[in-house]
Amino acid sequence: MRGIRRLGTITRVLARHGFADAASRLVRRKKTVPPEPGPAALPKESAATARRVRQALEELGPSFIKLGQLLSTRADLFPPAYIEEFKKLHDSVPPDPFEGIRSTVEKELKRPLSEIFASFSETSIAAASVAQVHRARLFTGEEVAVKVVRPGIAKKIKEDIQLMYFFARRIEKVFELGRVIGAVNLVQEFERTVFRELDMAVEAGNIEKFSHNFRLVNEIHIPKVYWKFNSKSVLVMEYVPGIKVDQVEEIQKQGIDPKAIALIGLRSLSRQLMEFGFFHADPHPGNTIVMYDGRVSLVDFGIVGYLDEEMMRNIANVFLGYAEHNYDMVMEAIGEAGLIDEETMDLKNFKTDLKDISEPFYGRSLLTISVRDVYDQVIGLVLKYNIRLPRNLLLLFKTLIQTEALGKVLGSDASILQAMRPYAKELIERSYHYEKIFENAGRDMVKASGYLRSAPKLLHDILRQIAAGKHRIEMKLSGLQRFDRLMETGVNRLTVGMVLSASIIAGSLVLNSRQKVIEFHVDLLGGQTFSLTSLLGVVGYSIATVLGVWLIVSIIRSGKL
């Protein structure tokens, strides 16, 4: 019943924002629906329609707001107008009443709030779609930030995800656009990511990883996690006093150079990408704090990205290739990352287009580069060549855009390519160090030995199953169709040639024969006497002539004379 009521709410909201026809088609029980694009098809440059989609998601609540936030990273699927509107969904949710927060903390930590904290502010200092943050103080005197999952949000998201799957399947059935973007796959991706964000233990683990990675970097501060007070729905970490990174005047009043802060941010991101393969994927102003001593602190580690060693090396080669104008290096790195298909893509034109969009940005500082221009042109290239980017690369691209945007706010004239260049070179050099080579060789040998050990057993199992009739071996040779046609043509021509020769020989023998069978007189041209044998000879010669002419013409037309 709750699902039916929620379905009714969703359809009413869609209708209120101008999508009544789309809502009607989505809930219609008719099994076969014509696959024609309706209002749900996204007009390429309709800012008004994009705004109405965003407003509908906001009205539908936290689950759909989180879905919109995920869609804001999928510029490979949605036009720029929609991406801009989806980005506005970040941090736009009012906080829940304090009583619900108190109840959640006490239920999770199994003690009254007054026994856990010396003080606990009822006013939220930050509120997002699935959690909100309150300031508190422990009995030991430490100031802490307490992040609490909104009461009942997990259950509501589960119910909404079921409806999202229903709508996604209907969208793929009703609208061509749904099949193009893969609506069901988007819901699956959303389901994977949102439940990780709902688990505060996962975020606490992310903080610990960052703390370990930056333990020797003095300019970056990672908050301490108080594991004693943590649970699945509650995260207690060090409260970091400071200034949001976009409050430039306040930063200057503290005697801190905003440009130096921008460089710290670029160096921090470079280390995350080129040293750790683990990066903070949401560095917006609310998650980046400038401390009063000039350090930078990262907070809110709910959204992170991972890069394996091979992808890190490919990204490093891309940065180095761009920095050195070496497009062959860029193309090779993109190819090794599996982003381009040599068989289906026009690599020559792709390389030319890549160069055309990249060259105008060389040597320019952040202040003179429009982040949106870079973003739009790269995504345009992705759409033109039908490239599907992995989620972590989309997160990386979004992170680069946000980092550059923060640099521009801080008035930095630094180049992100130049900032990452030394870290990229160091990564490439490390990959060719003898210790790394031996490490990789040892790992490969261990894998190879495992394959060798398991090969006899696998072969035995395969042969046993084949003998038992459980498997069959099929061999399919491709590319022989043209050969078959050529063989058939050749055999047919040879056959015609043999018939032609036989007809000529038979006609000659018959005409030269002295035996006359069934002679008859024809009063034509003064009267002539013919026999059946001579008539057969003439017919044979005629057939041979026609076949000969046809065979010569067909051979000439084939160009294989």
Q: What pLDDT does residue 322 have?
A: 66
Most confident of 10-19, 126-135, 403-412, 518-527: 126-135
Query: Above 90 in pLDDT, residue 87?
Result: no
What's residue 560's pLDDT? 58
**Does residue 387 share a domain with residue 250?**
yes
The whole-number pLDDT of residue 482 equals: 62
Verify that 361 and 494 share a domain, yes or no: no
Q: Is residue 471 part of a domain?
A: no
> pLDDT: is 355 or 441 the higher one?
355
Residue from 76, 160, 199, 282 carrying the catalytic annotation: 282
**481 within domain boundaries:** no
Residues 418 and 494 in one domain: no
Domain boundary at 432, 464, 499, which? 432
Same domain assignment for residues 347 and 393: yes
Q: Does residue 447 belong to any structural domain of this protein?
A: no
Tell me how far the alpha carbon of residue 152 is from its chain's centroid.
31
Per-residue pLDDT of 139-172, as tens digits, reads 999 999 999 999 988 888 888 888 888 888 888 7
Which CATH number does the domain housing residue 109 bear?
A: 3.30.200.20
Asked whether residue 268 is assigned to any structural domain, the reply reads: yes
419 in a structural domain:
yes
Paired sense of beta strands 519-522 and 119-127, if any: unpaired
- The per-residue DSSP string of 335-352 comes to HHTT---TTTS-HHHHHH
Looking at the fold, whether 162 and 146 belong to one and the same domain comes out as no
DSSP 8-state secondary structure symbol assigned to residue 531? E
Query: Among the three residues 397, 432, 467, which one is the final residue of a domain in this structure?
Result: 432
d(CA 283, CA 28) in angstroms, rounded, equals 42
Alpha carbons within 13 angstroms on the beta-carbon side of residue 359 total 8
pLDDT of residue 368: 59
Across 222-260, b (16+ Cβ under 10 Å) vs e yields: bbbbbeebbbebbbbbbbbebbebbebeebeeeebebee
Helix (H, G, I), strand (E, B) or coil at 66: helix
Segment 233-261 shows an average pLDDT of 92
Outline where DSSP puts E strands in 282-436: 288-290, 296-298, 304-306
Region 21-40: mean pLDDT is 55
In percent, how much of the chain has pLDDT > 70?
Answer: 71
How much is the pLDDT for 212? Answer: 94
Inside any domain, residue 411 = yes
Domain match, 79 and 113 both:
no
* Residues 117 and 212 grouped into a single domain: yes
Domain extent, residue 257, equals: 246-432
* Domain end among 411, 432, 453: 432
Q: Among 17-21, 268-272, 378-382, which stretch is predicted with the lowest mean pLDDT?
A: 378-382
My answer on whether 340 and 385 are in the same domain is yes
Q: Are 216 and 86 found together in one domain?
A: no
Q: Identify the pLDDT of residue 41.
A: 45
Radius of gyration of the chain from Cα atoms? 37
Mark whether 208 and 272 lie in a shared domain.
no
Measure the CA–CA gap between 231 and 200, rounded to whole angstroms: 7
- Integer CA distances (angstroms), 154 to 2, 160, 403, 472, in order: 15, 10, 31, 48
Asked if pLDDT for residue 418 goes beyond 90, the answer is: no
Q: What one-character-per-residue DSSP string does 197-255 give?
A: HT-HHHHHHHHHHHHHHTTT-TTEE-PPB-GGG--SSEEEEE----EETT-HHHHHHTT
Choose between 136 and 549: higher pLDDT. 136
Per-residue pLDDT, 477: 58
Highest mean pLDDT among 54-63, 271-280, 447-456: 271-280
Note whether 42 and 82 are same-domain residues. yes
- Please give the pLDDT value at position 35: 46
Known catalytic residue at 328: no
Category of 94 on φ-ψ map: left (φ > 0), alpha (ψ -120 to 50) or beta = beta
Per DSSP bridges, beta strands 220-221 and 296-298 are parallel
Q: With H, G, I as helix, E, B as strand and everything else as coil, classify residue 308.
A: coil
Long-range contacts of 242-247 (CB under 8 A, 24+ apart): 242/289, 242/290, 242/291, 242/292, 242/297, 243/289, 243/290, 243/292, 244/285, 244/286, 244/288, 244/289, 244/290, 245/285, 245/288, 245/289, 245/290, 245/296, 245/406, 245/409, 245/410, 246/285, 246/406, 246/409
Residue among 436, 396, 561, 416 nearest 493 (CA)? 561
Most confident of 165-179, 255-269, 417-431, 451-465: 255-269
Which of 128-137, 472-481, 528-537 has the weakest average pLDDT? 472-481
Quick one: 310 and 422 in the same domain? yes
Q: Is residue 209 part of a domain?
A: yes
Which residues, 6 or more positions from 82, have their beta carbon under 8 angstroms from its beta carbon?
42, 50, 53, 71
Residue at token pair 């239920």 = 107
Residue 346: pLDDT band (50, 70, 90) is confident
Query: Is 455 a member of any domain?
Result: no
Based on the structure, what is the number of domains in the chain? 4
Question: CB–CB of 316/424 below 8 Å?
Answer: yes
pLDDT at 264: 92
pLDDT tens digits along 169-202: 888 787 766 676 677 888 888 888 888 888 999 9
Look over the chain and give the mean of its residue pLDDT values, rounded to a whole number: 77
